[in-house]
Amino acid sequence: MEQPPPTFQVNGAEIRKLRMQAGLSTAELAEKALISRRYLNHLENGYRTRMRPGPYARLLTALGLQAGTTQLLRPPPQDNPPGKR
């Protein structure tokens, strides 16, 4: 059985975009996701980029996203971008 990763690399700009589309303040979303406003603010501003599975799942639910969606995750880094060595 596959275990979930210990943390998720999240895209703070995407979190902010979805929060604003939902018409929620940082305080409202933080309360719905059971995380602190400060933690949410740090995620949105890129000071923090990792989330544990529990808070990540609650954030998905608070934003109305389905479990398993990758919409909030950062894209994987490219090892060798074209034209670079």
Query: 52: closest CA among 1, 10, 2?
Result: 10
51: burial class by Cβ within 10 Å (0-12, 13-18, 19+)?
Answer: buried
Contact 44, 55 (CB under 8 A): no
Question: How many other CB atoms sit within 10 Å of the CB of residue 2?
Answer: 4
At residue 54, the pLDDT reads: 94
At residue 31, the pLDDT reads: 98
pTM for the model stands at 0.82
At residue 77, the pLDDT reads: 72
At residue 4, the pLDDT reads: 59
- Ranges of residues in the chain with a pLDDT under 50 are none
81: burial class by Cβ within 10 Å (0-12, 13-18, 19+)?
Answer: exposed
At residue 67, the pLDDT reads: 87
